Amino acid sequence: MKFIIPILAVFGCLIGNGAASADPPIRPGDHVAIVGNTFADQLRIHGYLETLLLQKTSDTPISIRNLGWGGDMLTARDRPTNFPTEETTLRDHQTDVIVACFGMGESFAGERGIEKFKADLEAWIESHRGKKYNEKTEVRLVLVSPIACEDLGHLTPDLDGRNRDLQSYTRAMREVAESADIAFIDLFEPSRYLMDEQQGPNLTTNGIHLNQYGYWAISRTFFNQLFPEHDETPPWQMRMDANAKTGTAIGVELADIVSDETGLQFRVTETTPPHLPPPVDNPLPPQLEFLRDTLAVENLPPGTYALSVDGEHVATASADQWTKGVAIDASPAHAEAESVRAAVNDKNLQFTYSWKALNQVHIVGERRSSPSGRALPGEVIQFSELAKERDANLAKRIRLATRQWRLSRVTQ
């Protein structure tokens, strides 16, 4: 039975023309710092990109500190009085790689601001070039473009003008990155491609700020561009024939296929982690539907069949639907992947409490000499230790298992 995966062209559209270096800009064991605007800041509360990176590097896990700040631009990065310098935080984290997300705020200056933006980018690169924040090797840099502006009707006036400017600023970032020989991630073109698709939920809340679904979708293309010529991890694709008791698969291995009048059972050994389930129940656009783990079973007798994994219900569909393929997002493996993402978000919260605490006035401001101000620095240190502790345990939560799957006919 031939197994066809019609996703390579789709991946090409979603990947775009990103990082082009021979080696991926992020490597196993790296300490990564993310800096930049609201897009960067909100990566920490959704956790999709970091979870994907942890899944890929679980044997030698990466460690991420998100230093994003809502509204940041290259030359406008306001901080409270006496706030720790960015360089101090980069050295504390022993940073190997800085991922910089800029261009959205700057793009509002329009065409007249592009040359200044390029000069500011070049200055930012020079400010880090040659620095050894990890005390061993020169820091590597990754530039990340803004996303496109989504058409949300009256919420997004001058949509075409905004996207012309965002495209120009993305092009400027690419030129600077190529000139400096550093990695570049283009999120503008893939996001515009998805936004132009009629089917599927909106990606943003106001045209330029991604919602949770938007971060789920864009994190995948971000991840793929970080590893453009390396082992992309396609979704699980399982196709079986109930009559022949045979099957082919990508991402997992199938064994011990047994069928009878009540259904089909088989053993699945996970060789790659599952894809993170989308955070919506709405139908997805075709480009993203192909990114979901899928099971297809041919030649089932007519009827309705329920899928269980290790005794836990996962999905129910008709024989015709199983023939076409059913997205598998709720298996125990997917629940475990979601628990990793939740742990990532918790780690990021502990770091945020230690680095960007809400009550800065008591820590570095005018009330730092008050009783509560004197107590808070110790608490901040405890939050930092909690972040490190959680960081060390994240990869241990990622596991590949062998599980028993069963497709049972549902009696009426």
pLDDT digits (tens, 9 = 90+) for 97-127: 999 999 999 999 999 999 999 999 999 999 9
Q: Between 397 and 6, whose confidence is greater? A: 397
Instruction: Quote the Cα angle for 46-50-54, to 5°.
Output: 140
Q: Provide mean pLDDT across the span 42-56.
A: 96
In the block, tokens 């790296």 appear at 30
If pLDDT is split at 50, 70 and 90, which confidence band does 380 have?
A: confident
Q: Name, in order, each residue with C-beta under 8 angstroms of 304's C-beta and a sequence gap of 6 or more.
A: 316, 317, 318, 319, 409, 410
User: Residue 323: which of 348, 355, 299 has the closest Cα?
Assistant: 299
Q: Provide mean pLDDT across the span 373-394.
A: 79
**CA separation for the pair 156, 297 (Å, rounded):** 44
Given strand 252-260, what is the order of strands in its sheet?
Answer: 252-260, 263-270, 402-409, 304-309, 312-318
pLDDT digits (tens, 9 = 90+) for 282-312: 889 988 988 899 999 999 999 999 999 999 9
What is the pLDDT at residue 84?
84
What is the pLDDT at residue 377?
61
Q: Provide mean pLDDT across the span 188-217.
A: 96
Q: Is the pLDDT of residue 189 over 80?
A: yes
What is the pLDDT at residue 10?
43
pLDDT digits (tens, 9 = 90+) for 156-165: 999 999 999 9
What is the pLDDT at residue 99?
98
Percent of the chain with pLDDT over 70: 88
> Radius of gyration over alpha carbons of the chain, in Å?
23
pTM: 0.91
Q: Provide mean pLDDT across the span 377-401.
A: 86
Strand intervals (E) in 31-87: 31-36, 63-66
Q: Name, in order, each residue with C-beta under 8 angstroms of 231's C-beta and a sequence gap of 6 or more.
A: none
User: Residue 116: which of 77, 74, 154, 70 has the closest Cα?
Assistant: 74
In the block, tokens 């996703």 appear at 7
What is the pLDDT at residue 208?
97
**CA separation for the pair 16, 20 (Å, rounded):** 11
Which DSSP letter does residue 34 get? E
Q: Provide mean pLDDT across the span 161-184.
A: 98
Q: Is the pLDDT of residue 372 over 80?
A: no
In the block, tokens 């031939």 appear at 2
- Which has the minimum average pLDDT: 56-65, 74-83, 154-163, 242-251? 74-83
pLDDT digits (tens, 9 = 90+) for 22-37: 689 999 999 999 999 9
CA 311 and chain centroid, separation: 30
Helix or strand or coil: residue 325?
Answer: coil
Q: Is the pLDDT of residue 386 over 60?
A: yes
The answer to whether 384 touches 347, Cβ cutoff 8 Å, is no
CATH superfamily name and code, 8-226: SGNH hydrolase (3.40.50.1110)
Domain with CATH 3.40.50.1110 in the chain: 8-226
What is the pLDDT at residue 234?
87
What is the pLDDT at residue 8?
39
The answer to whether 186 touches 135, Cβ cutoff 8 Å, is no
What is the pLDDT at residue 83?
82
Q: 10 Å Cβ neighbour count for 5?
A: 14
Q: Between 9 and 262, whose confidence is greater? A: 262
